[in-house]
Structure 1
């Protein structure tokens, strides 16, 4: 592979390069952008051995440094993860073009036509943790949506991110997309400088802890799309199918415990606690999960650890599950509203009316009924990939795909029309006719 070009002397210069490249990217055709995505997918397949080798170095160093196991799990980029990421690129290429969509086409008066069209945001600054596959997902979405992107991965993924960026740059050099549209930062000190570049960067997307996201929000004038903790809950109602409840809870906790959509707290209705908790304890033990329960839970499962107040507000990112027995669905909802990070919340019940109450009352980006919390994901939603999951109320919310990376502009075309014609005593009325 050809080595990466030397970065500019200042981050400001690099950001300006990215902005200029983004302007070129924004006017490329759908076919040109899709061809670039195909080139990246092919290059990642061709150089997968180099990528996996670089990642192995990061993983080995992470073990030496004593990085938490949950972070090590996110860091690992094996062949299966890489192939999944490549498939995600191909899926993004198949999605409809988000640029140039006409949202409004309205005649204000004869010959005076208003259109609202989608367009790229410009330059994205994405700061993410250990997951190197996030770099692939974010890059594909940025190119498809016509945006430049400046990426800052965690220091633990440095070798992986540098190798991936090198492969992507080499692939883009053979396409109409300028390689400068995708940039990689490598030092922690660059984060603070990035946050000051509101002249060039249009949106910051931080992926990390609540405290990290708050720090970013408080230290920049650039709009921030917050992606914070994933403290997800499941409530097992008294009218739940017990076998379904066990299967769904085990999947939500163990299918990929390091993910932000893995369940961290289980709430169980007191009427069925004696029936379902022993089943859950057996299934979770077989998967290596440690349970921590409140007093009512430990009366049924005295062998498990005691839960403290801290457990209700903790994202474990590993094989630990906090369990609490509640008096009612209302109690479960109250607990969720107190401790939820507004990521993903689920109810397991055969009572459809109660399920609808839960779905409407619980305030979260994802609210599920009788399915695993692990479905809260851009790829599974059919977005191809995601730049992150937003837990804020203002849109975009939840998994952020292409639709969250475009804005819109109003275009008005007339033929000598003046505003004075439509004001005053003899004002001419607007037609306001949708075309």
Structure 2
């Protein structure tokens, strides 16, 4: 990752500290806004994006031209592109978010500890999130809208390849916010390499960092900040084709999971096929995948069944983000599970099978954020889940896990209301706790 490779992390400049403090102040005020005020802010943001659509798409074309001249990797070029159709989808996501239930002020626990001493746990914003991403300028739309809806400020840093697009988008969003109860200062865009690195030292001003990009980007951030990091380093997703399978259906799933958007982190990189069905399945899958432009690399058994390229140990560990697919023939479900456990990234893995027992074993045994039956791994997406958008996908075991939407951007606070109660009375036995559950 060019910006971060071998880089040292500088101390934040006075200017960056001032901007970050401004975002935090705006975030504190945002957290006090009503549900209706935050809804109206999102609708104003969506309208502003529509009004500035031509300027945003033009800025993106300039970024694409510069990327082509610089020889940017094809996978990043695919993520960088933001045409009218893709922008319209992002805007629809903003409006979908505005329509979702308010994630703030939700009472999660309500207990009477004793007469007149009542405890509740209520959802509140995190504060300020810092998001660092490569390419994908539409991420600015998703992150900004999720942040505002959940009452959080956001400091964003896109890759230099998307600089024009990100600036045009943020300008539109801030203009949309200018006529609402939400301050435009709740959103900030970093533009320089030094600022993006110094962001990692803004503990106390930034509450969570979310990296969206390459393995190198995520690992660098995890290793160079004291701020909590949410994200995933790899997207090595698998499709296992069981012996009892609807072959035409499984072929369609495989083609979609690999080719619908190969640069996405939820595209499959390895296809595992049960030995008993491998001849029939590969006879149908090889021409379908080849026709879609996929380069196939197989183990010895897969090559014997018609796959031209050979796969090495490295192929099982590689996130191609391209039209390349590794294929392995396995003896049974257990071998498939062992392969996924060894090489998978705990992102999203799927099984194609008609056998209910086998499917349940797979769904229970695979320790990934998303585990699917008879459908494409490309459904691992916040918008497709109905979250409106996502700030990223987390493969960590602790929540939030999978596509992170509004619920992943809130925490909770315990509130205790009493009438002069003191702990000494309970320690001495003068009073007793009741711990009576109250309605939420």
Q: For residue 385 of structure 1, give the secondary structure of its aligned residue in structure 2.
A: coil
The answer on 1:388 being equivalent to 2:392 is yes
Deviates more, 1:74-83 or 1:218-227: 218-227
Question: 2:396 and 2:154 mapped to 1: Cα distance?
Answer: 22
Separation in structure 2 between the aligned mates of residue 294 and residue 115 of structure 1, nearest angstrom: 57
1:14 and 2:19 are equivalent in the alignment: yes
Report the CA distance between 1:310 and its aligned residue: 1.2
CA distance in 2, matches of 1:133, 1:312: 30
* Correspondence for 1:209: 214
**Residues of 2 paired with 1:274 and 1:37: CA distance?**
52
- 1:3 paired residue number: none
- CA shift digits 1:46-70 (9 cap, x unpaired): 1100000000000111111111111
1:312 paired with 2:312, answer no
Provide the rounded CA distance (Å) in 2 between the counterparts of 1:211 and 1:127: 12
* Aligned counterparts, 1:129-140, within 5 A: 129-140=134-145
Alignment match, 1:378? 382
Deviation readout 1:303-359 (Å, 9 max, x if unpaired): x21111111111111111110101111001111111111100001111111111111
In the TM superposition, what is the alpha-carbon distance from 1:191 to its structure 2 partner? 2.1
Determine which of 87, 102, 105 is the counterpart of 1:82.
Answer: 87
* Residue number in structure 2 paired with 1:147: 152
**What is the distance in 2 between the residues matched to 1:361 and 1:229?**
20
Give the Cα–Cα distance (whole angstroms) in 2 for the partners of residues 205 and 305 of structure 1: 37
Contact 1:205–1:226 (CA under 8 A) maintained in structure 2: yes
Q: What is the alpha-carbon distance in structure 1 between the residues aligned to residue 280 and residue 154 of structure 2?
A: 52
Equivalents in 2 of 1:80, 1:334: separation in Å?
41
Residue 110 (structure 1) aligned to one of 110, 115, 118: 115
Q: CA deviation at 1:157?
A: 0.3
Matched, 1:356 2:360: yes
Counterpart in 1 of 2:346? 342
Structure-2 residue corresponding to 1:4: none
Shift of 1:428: 2.1
Distance 2:48 2:14 in 1: 28
**2:269 corresponds to 1:264:** yes
Q: CA deviation at 1:9?
A: 5.7
Pick one of 324, 332, 337 that aligns with 2:336: 332
Q: Which residue is 2:54 aligned to?
A: 49
Shift of 1:94: 0.5
Q: Which SS does the other structure have where 1:10 is aligned?
A: helix
Confirm or deny that 1:434 pairs with 2:437. Answer: yes
Aligned residue for 1:267, secondary structure, equals strand
Alignment check: 8 A CA contact 1:208 1:229 kept: no
Deviations 1:106-143 (A, max 9, x none): 11111111010000000000001100001100000000
Quote the Cα distance in structure 2 between the aligned partners of 1:274 and 1:131.
39
How many residues get paired? 426
- Measured in 1, the distance between the counterparts of 2:366 and 2:78 equals 30
Q: What corresponds to 1:123 in structure 2?
A: 128
2:3 aligns with none
8 Å Cα contact 1:228-1:390 kept in structure 2: no
* CA RMSD across the alignment: 1.0
Instruction: Tell me the secondary structure at the aligned position of residue 99 of structure 1.
Output: coil
Partner SS, residue 399 of structure 1? strand
Alpha-carbon offset, residue 192 of structure 1 = 2.0
Q: TM-score, normalised by structure 2?
A: 0.95
Deviation at 1:286, TM superposition (A): 1.4
Matched with 2:289 is: 284
TM-score, length basis structure 1: 0.96
The aligned counterpart of 2:401 is 397
Provide the residue aligned with 1:415 in structure 2. 419
> Unaligned 5+ residue runs, structure 2?
1-12
